[in-house]
């Protein structure tokens, strides 16, 4: 294992970012690596574009799980790296190339240095959407191999390499995509009284929507509604018949998510009457909160302190992660891994420090080896 250049593996994976459930080259790359490991020490099963790998323990009493995500994002890369994405308009802008590489490193270590218990490594597709964790959790393979505990990490550009940030309880928010379609009546710009202008309607809706958080969510709770994309119209002298808003809802509590959606739908009903139009809402992918099991999280934090790793007790964040579905059924935790990049997650210039790869592999192999 000492001869394996995991930074080179990360660079290979960085060049083939693929969208959710389209990770065919990524899956094949991972399988090519995995099938070169000793076959008598592990078992590999594929699930859609994902992979389950069981690494056999010497005298198993339980199964320890670890999950990494494998998909990229629809972002045009602007890093200037010598190993850029080979796909136009796609990039590993959320660090999943790091996540996969670290997982391969940890898996490889335990193939050659087995512990008592079995290990289950999950290479999960479609974390960025439409969500691979929930269907993978419900798969027959997972039901057969379901681990007794499970862990995951996410890169954190804002922290230095060598830093781990974590907290017990709520780490990431409840999230929901948001798609709203408006349909009115188009026409000539000179005769607005004969039309139902959906640019005016959608613009008014965006403004009114902001009152949902400020006036319907407990100020001691937190919620965010963001519209990131608006499409409408064709040319400057035609009144738009349709409009589409695309955005996201994020809340720190499941109750607030329901409350936000109820108010959103009430606002829609009022807008239909006020602007004499049709409006349809679709919530797309919805992710559960990431809630770190207190017992396991404190066990991990104690390990970090005892081994003099740089630990930060962080605050909860409005990020979304479908690993929350797995933590609903399996005790465990997710933590932030410092990668020291001046550009943040989902940025076209995200460039994590590769020194974090070896640090994370060492950290996780050491930690997992302590689990009794």
Peptide bond into 130 cis (omega under 30): yes
**Residue 221 a catalytic site member:** no
Nearest to 68 by CA among 42, 22, 30: 30
H-run or E-run covering 104: helix 96-112
- SS3 call for 78: coil
Per-residue buried b or exposed e for 251-283, using 16+ beta carbons within 10 Å of the residue's own CB: bbbeebbebbbebbeebbeebeeebebebeeee
Residue 140 designated active-site: no
Q: Which of 178, 122, 182, 82 has its CA nearest to residue 326?
A: 122
E strand map for the chain: 42-47, 50-55, 63-69, 118-124, 149-156, 163-166, 169-172, 174-183, 187-188, 223-232, 238-239, 242-251, 278-282, 286-287, 290-292, 310-313, 332-338
- Catalytic annotation, pick one of 18, 23, 69, 117: 69
Please pick, among 128, 177, 197, 321, the residue that the annotation labels catalytic.
Answer: 128
Residue 284 structure tokens = 């797309």
Q: Which two tokens stand for residue 189?
A: 């710009």
Q: Which residues are the active-site residues?
A: 69, 128
């Amino acid at each position: 294992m000492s001869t394996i250049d995991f930074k080179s593996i990360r660079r290979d994976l960085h060049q083939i970012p693929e969208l959710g459930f389209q990770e065919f080259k990524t899956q094949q790359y991972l399988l090519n690596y995995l099938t070169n490991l000793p076959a008598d020490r592990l078992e590999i099963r594929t699930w859609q574009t994902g992979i389950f790998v069981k690494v056999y323990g010497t005298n198993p009493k339980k199964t320890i799980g670890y999950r990494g995500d494998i998909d990229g994002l629809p972002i045009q890369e602007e890093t200037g790296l010598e190993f850029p994405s080979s796909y136009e308009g796609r990039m590993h802008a959320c660090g999943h190339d790091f996540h996969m590489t670290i997982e391969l490193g940890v898996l490889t270590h335990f193939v050659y240095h087995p512990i008592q218990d079995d290990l289950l490594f999950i290479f999960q597709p479609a974390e960025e959407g439409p969500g691979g964790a929930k269907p993978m959790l419900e798969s027959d393979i997972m039901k057969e191999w379901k681990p007794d505990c499970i862990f995951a990490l996410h890169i954190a550009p804002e922290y230095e390499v060598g830093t781990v940030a974590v907290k017990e309880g709520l780490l990431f928010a409840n999230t929901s995509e948001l798609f709203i379609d408006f349909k009115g009546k188009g026409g000539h710009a000179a005769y607005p009284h004969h039309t139902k202008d959906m640019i005016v309607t959608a613009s008014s809706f965006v403004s009114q929507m902001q009152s949902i958080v400020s006036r319907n969510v407990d100020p001691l709770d937190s919620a965010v509604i963001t519209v990131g994309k608006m499409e409408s119209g064709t040319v400057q002298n035609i009144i738009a018949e349709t409009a589409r808003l695309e955005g996201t809802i994020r809340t720190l509590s499941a109750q607030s998510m329901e409350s936000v959606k109820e108010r959103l739908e009430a606002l829609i009903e009022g807008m239909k009457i006020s602007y004499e139009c049709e409006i349809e809402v679709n919530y797309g992918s919805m992710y559960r909160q990431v809630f770190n099991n207190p017992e396991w999280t404190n066990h991990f934090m104690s390990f970090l302190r005892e081994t003099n790793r740089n630990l930060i007790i962080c605050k909860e964040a409005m990020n979304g992660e479908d690993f929350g579905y797995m933590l609903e059924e399996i005790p465990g935790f997710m933590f932030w891994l410092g990668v020291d990049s001046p550009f943040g997650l989902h940025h076209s210039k995200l460039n994590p420090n590769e020194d974090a790869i070896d640090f994370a592999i060492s950290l996780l192999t050491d930690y997992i080896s302590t689990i009794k």
